[in-house]
Amino acid sequence: MTAPVERGATPVEGDPAAAVRARDRLRLTVLVAGTNFVLYALVSLAGWAGWGGLHAAVAVERGTLGVVLDGVVVLLVNLAFGAAVIAGTLAFRPLDRPWPARVLVVTCVAAVASVPRILALAALTSTPSSGAYVAAVGTLGLLAGVVGMTAGLLSASLVDRARTEQERREEEALRAARVVEELQGEEVRVRRHVFDQLHGTLQFHLVTVTAGLDRVADELAASGDDAHAADLRHWAETLEEIREQDVRSLSHAVFPSGADMGTQEAIQVLLRRLPPQIDAAVELGDNYQTLVADDGLRMPMAERLVVIYTVEEAVTNALRHGHASRVRVHADAEPTDDPDRWVFVTVVDDDGSGPPRPAPPMHGLRRHRERIEYRGGTLTLGTNPGGGGRLAFRVPFTVEPEGRREVPHV
């Protein structure tokens, strides 16, 4: 039975990402362990000098060059010891093994590498010959080898674990984003289907019933039954009002008119529904016009609906609460570092009284703001330079080809 291997420790054959991660773990192990052994070599040099090695070198060598050479040899011996521990440990592929096996491998390699280190140091005439010094140097070298190499392996494991956790979170976030995108696509499909049923089928039936009632009323009037004819015409007019007002309003609430044609067209349809005494207009900036006209790209339907409904809420609030008589909608697209990623910027200005002070809690706009913020955008409510209300919001979106359409599956 084989021991369990740490997650991501062994690269999958043919998996470039796993191979890169394995190389990164190896480089980090060598970097941390190598740094530890360089520091230990310097500490060992200081220990050699403080224990009496420097004094002995001065007494034996009787020259500055000899003293320096002895110090360099002590330093190189300890550096070679560190390199031997690193190379020997990595030869056993410790990153592919469980932690008990790693520690055992490091301890054995450090113990073996300590023997030539002690012999090399003892061969120097300037090295103190006391047994206490040899035992201390040997023990400290063994511990330094185990600690330094284990620290390198531990650092690589912790960094790799953190990287794996980050990748897992990013994968979950991407999966959640795909689920939300699918739900939004389904919402658009259902909205369009309901819109088609309301705008087409239901209105056709109402028109048919109204025409039938008018025909029966005419027949009653021709036979002299004016009272019943008048009643039928009244009910026919009521049905026509329901069709023109309630059904059309409901179909627009489900799926705004003009949304299929584009954002600007839908906003224009929205503003044309306002009373004639309201001066309303929409202006689309050069960036978005160029994006649509020259590149044949446009905003996806999900973001388009968010923009249209937010503009509708802003216009409704301007008329209802601000008592505005003039509304201007300015919209444009701003590029980002990603050529396929843009930000749709919309400003709705009016000449009304503006939002009250202190700022309102934005109850009616809360749902719109939440949808915009979920997409990474922002929404603010304030006043424009003229003193009227100003609603500004930004919606990031990924462009799609002009010819692409969401086809409803009914």
Highest mean pLDDT (candidates 38-42, 314-318, 347-351): 347-351
- Mean pLDDT (whole number) for 149-177: 87
User: Range with the lowest mean pLDDT among 11-15, 206-210, 220-224?
Assistant: 11-15
Least confident of 51-55, 68-72, 201-205: 51-55
Distance (Å, whole) CA 162 – CA 164: 5
Question: 341-350 and 378-383 as β-strands: parallel, antiparallel, unpaired?
Answer: unpaired
* pLDDT at 267 (0 to 100): 86
* CA dihedral of residues 114, 120, 122, 125 (deg, nearest 10): -160
φ, ψ (nearest 5 deg) of residue 286: -65, -35
Closest CA to 151 of 57, 28, 317: 28
Per-residue model confidence as pLDDT tens digits over 333-357: 998 998 888 999 999 999 988 887 7
Q: How far apart are CA 229 and CA 240, in angstroms?
A: 16
pLDDT at 7 over 60: no
280 contacts 350 by C-beta, under 8 angstroms: no
Confidence (pLDDT) at 348: 95
Task: Give the pLDDT band of residue 24 (cuts 50, 70, 90).
Answer: confident
CATH number of this structure's domain 263-401, picked from the four choices 3.90.1300.10, 3.30.565.10, 1.10.1040.10, 3.10.20.30:
3.30.565.10
Q: Determine the Cα–Cα distance for residues 279 and 289; give it in Å rounded to an integer.
A: 23
The whole-model pTM stands at: 0.51
Q: Half-sphere exposure (CA, 13 Å, Cβ side) for 177? A: 9
The closest alpha carbon to 369, from 408, 395, 396, 344, belongs to 395
- Band of the pLDDT at 410, cuts 50, 70, 90? very low
Answer for the pair 319, 278: CB distance below 8 angstroms, yes or no.
yes
CA quadruple 356, 360, 364, 366: dihedral positive or negative?
positive
Please give the residue that has the higher pLDDT: either 264 or 369: 369
Phi-psi region for residue 392, left (φ > 0), alpha (ψ -120 to 50) or beta? beta
The overall average pLDDT reported for the chain is 79
Q: How large a percentage of the chain has pLDDT more than 90?
A: 22
343 phi, psi to nearest 5 deg: -125, 120
Strands 326-335 and 279-284: what pairing? parallel
Q: Which among 95, 103, 47, 37 has a CA at the least distance from the CA of 71?
A: 47
pLDDT at 404: 46
Residue whose entry in the numeric block shows the structure tokens 């070198």: 57
CA separation for the pair 28, 24 (Å, rounded): 6
Confidence bin at 108 (pLDDT 50/70/90): very high
Q: What HEC string does the chain produce?
A: CCCCCCCCCCCCCCCHHHHHHHHHHHHHHHHHHHHHHHHHHHHHHHHHHHHCHHHHHHHHHCCHHHHHHHHHHHHHHHHHHHHHHHHHHHHCCHHHCCHHHHHHHHHHHHHHHHHHHHHHHHHCCCCCCCHHHHHHHHHHHHHHHHHHHHHHHHHHHHHHHHHHHHHHHHHHHHHHHHHHHHHHHHHHHHHHHHHHHHHHHHHHHHHHHHHHHHHHHHHHHHCCCHHHHHHHHHHHHHHHHHHHHHHHHHHHHHCCCCCCCCHHHHHHHHHHCCCCCCEEEEEECHHHHHHHHCCCEECCHHHHHHHHHHHHHHHHHHHHCCCCCEEEEEEEEEECCCCCEEEEEEEEEECCCCCCCCCCCCCCCHHHHHHHHHCCCEEEEEECCCCCEEEEEEEEEECEECCCCCCCCC
Which range, 37-51, 261-275, 353-367, 381-395, has the best average confidence (pLDDT)? 381-395
Residue 82 has pLDDT above 70, yes or no: yes
Q: How far is the C-alpha of 378 from the C-alpha of 396, rounded, in Å?
A: 9
pLDDT in the model for residue 30 = 92
